Amino acid sequence: MTALAPSPRRLGTTGPEVFPLGLGCMGMSDLYGPADRTESIATLHAALDAGVTLLDTGDFYGMGHNELLIAEALKGRPRENVVLSVKFGALRDPAGNWIGFDGRPQAVKTALAYTLKRLGVDYIDIYRPARLDPVVPVEETVGAIADMVQAGYVRHVGLSEVGADTIRRAAAVHPVSDLQIEYSLISRGIEDGILQTCRDLGIGITAYGVLSRGLISGHYQASGAASDFRAHSPRFQGENVAENLKLVEALRQVAQARGASVAQVAIAWVAAQGADILPLVGARRRDRLTEALGSLDVTLDAAALAAIEAAIPKGAAKGARYAAAQMAMLDSERTGA
């Protein structure tokens, strides 16, 4: 008997239909320590072969490396079979330091031109500013993307890590397909207004960090690599990481009772929060991808959801999700967002 294909999810009322898990590709190029290029390409191929359609990247992931990697993986495959979600605007120096954000209309269009060339495609499915530019009105940034939609270089406008007021302002300029934002059992800030705003406006959620950068994957081990930004993340430091891993062990008991892994239950929990939410998994290896795909077979009934809530209550995590300087850049974290 052939297994039924998983039901697709639509990104908002105006966005594309996609496979019910997306693949976040950042870790294949940057920020989590060394990655294996051959394994990265193999993982991308395995994801596409399994039916995954949405690939998420940013032009600043490895300063273009990630887009070039994806382009290599897509060679010989039909363009219409993949949904490319690209973030832009983050500024970095040659040492990889974060030095600001540029959401000016001319910068939007220039960044898009380079992205199209690196990916080897003639349009991007969803184009989104990675953060809100503090000095450029969001209407101008979104207006520039809307110009590129009109010109045929972009299919849909997306947002990332912005609060409710910014979402409303952006949506007044052009329909928004989805908001990309961190959402997991230990990062539930969007439940305090942002999620409802998106639902009111027919905007989907692309949830990244569903395993909290591996912290609640059930597999976490400190890499020790200087290039692994988690070493500077409050949730991964000192007593915080020890307390957070205790939550993972409580979740492990819930998962084992249901014949699933910790990661599968954590991903399934995000998916269970609404059909308008697409979990992004950051698998860099085929075995981790296979495990993540297994979450699609995990059904969480009311009893399971209650057990998960008891294991990891809202607000139980120790430490902020980013260091203070990065938290200050998040419009989604501002009071009243």
Strand-pairing partners, residue 129, are: 88
Contact 206, 15 (CB under 8 A): no
Residues marked active site are found at 61
Provide the H-helix boundaries in 50-104: 65-74
Q: How far apart are CA 160 and CA 158, in angstroms?
A: 7
Q: Supply the pTM of this predicted model.
A: 0.91
Predicted local distance difference test score (pLDDT) of residue 162: 97
Predicted local distance difference test score (pLDDT) of residue 55: 98
Q: How far apart are CA 224 and CA 207, in angstroms?
A: 27
Q: How far apart are CA 204 and CA 183, in angstroms?
A: 13
> How many other C-beta atoms are found inside a 10 Å radius of the C-beta of residue 140?
14
The full length of the chain comes to 337
3-class secondary structure, 307: helix
Predicted local distance difference test score (pLDDT) of residue 323: 64
Q: How far apart are CA 265 and CA 226, in angstroms?
A: 30
Predicted local distance difference test score (pLDDT) of residue 226: 54
Which helix (DSSP H) or strand (DSSP E) does residue 42 occupy?
helix 37-49
Strand-pairing partners, residue 55, are: 23, 84
Question: pLDDT of the chain along its 337 residues, tens only?
Answer: 345 678 999 999 999 999 999 999 999 997 777 789 999 999 999 999 999 999 999 999 999 999 999 999 999 999 999 999 999 999 999 988 889 999 999 999 999 999 999 999 999 999 999 999 999 999 999 999 999 999 999 999 999 999 999 999 999 999 999 999 999 998 999 999 999 999 999 999 999 999 988 788 878 765 555 556 566 677 777 787 777 788 888 899 999 999 999 999 999 999 999 999 999 999 999 999 999 999 999 999 999 999 999 999 998 777 777 666 676 777 887 754 4
Predicted local distance difference test score (pLDDT) of residue 232: 67
Predicted local distance difference test score (pLDDT) of residue 284: 93
Which helix (DSSP H) or strand (DSSP E) does residue 26 occupy?
none
Contact 216, 21 (CB under 8 A): no
Considering only CA atoms, which of 266, 265, 257 is closest in space to residue 212? Answer: 266
Predicted local distance difference test score (pLDDT) of residue 244: 77
